[in-house]
Structure 1
């Protein structure tokens, strides 16, 4: 969402990141082992695995930013072909996405997950602050079958905002409160 002057509202994006970081710290600090092993709602993951997946959304964005900066400068037919290729690989992506969270939660859980999240969100914060305004005009096609928050075209601002939308969506699937 652009500010009144047409520029990207970086402060709003950073505030979203800060809100998520605080929320994750609270969730991890208030959940015991049994709660983390409980199945989440609407996924095949446990709460702990889903928490890792939610943080992984921020990790992925660091790579997506590179793609937008690169492919966003190329002819649209190249980006269209790339998105079509990725869409064709959706079954493989789905399997890797699921298993990645299962394995990732074994490595990054509890305080380690919070530290990883803080590092990744901090890196995104710094990247956003340094991003030249002209880059926010870059956009590329995305594999719309991979994620409900991917649209056919996404610009750099949408990519910076994506992980928080992803986090908030999955936040509602956690069963940490017993629901």
Structure 2
């Protein structure tokens, strides 16, 4: 894994996020997104949340990556069985959290999370980055059956880019 590539991806997403939230009009925030139940503000929080959750996933990989692979495989199957409640919690959680980490706070939170990921990535050894575990593939289209720590660092920007296309912003096409 090339750490600089991941650092560059994180910075690109950070700059894009700030450009998005800095240029939105009132109607843009409340606009309905494509192919989701969220409005733009809620989806923007969800995009931020993808980076926030990675910090927890890094810890989970450190734990399960030291155990026999069958343990994480069983855990992933258990989580996959709970996909319906997960989807609803994911939806409602982003709706509620967007009220706290709203348009006035999202940018600052995004900066803090990205800075944290930069620091953590710099501290990772090659052995750490190669450690991995099984994931619940039904929870997210970017989860693979087995993911390394290096994969987890790349995941939030894939998630960000996917949802970026679902934003519906002004006629200038910023959400397209």
Residue in structure 2 matched with residue 4 of structure 1 by the alignment: none
Residue in structure 2 matched with residue 88 of structure 1 by the alignment: 81
Cα deviation digits, residues 108-165 of structure 1 (max 9, x gap): 1223100001001110010000112211121100000000000100011110000000
Residue in structure 1 matched with residue 66 of structure 2 by the alignment: 73
Measure how far apart 1:15 and its partner are.
0.5
Residue in structure 2 matched with residue 157 of structure 1 by the alignment: 150
Q: What TM-score does the superposition give when structure 1 sets the normalisation length? A: 0.94
Q: 2:40 aligns with which of 47, 53, 62?
A: 47
Listed as ranges, the matches of 1:138-177 within 5 Å are 138-177=131-170
Q: Does the aligned pair in 2 maintain the 1:37–1:46 contact within 8 Å?
A: yes
* 2: CA distance, partners of 1:58 / 1:111: 18
Gaps of 5+ in 2: none
Listed as ranges, the matches of 1:82-161 within 5 Å are 82-161=75-154
Q: What TM-score does the superposition give when structure 2 sets the normalisation length? A: 0.95
Measure how far apart 1:24 and its partner are.
0.7
Gaps of 5+ in 1: 1-7
Runs of 4+ in structure 1 deviating by more than 3 angstroms, as ranges, are none
Secondary structure class of the residue paired with 2:105: helix
* 1: CA distance, partners of 2:125 / 2:148: 14
Q: Does the aligned pair in 2 maintain the 1:28–1:111 contact within 8 Å?
A: no
Secondary structure class of the residue paired with 1:140: strand
Q: Matched residue pairs, number?
A: 172
* 1: CA distance, partners of 2:25 / 2:158: 26
Measure how far apart 1:176 and its partner are.
1.0
Moved more, 76-85 or 159-168: 76-85
RMSD: 0.9
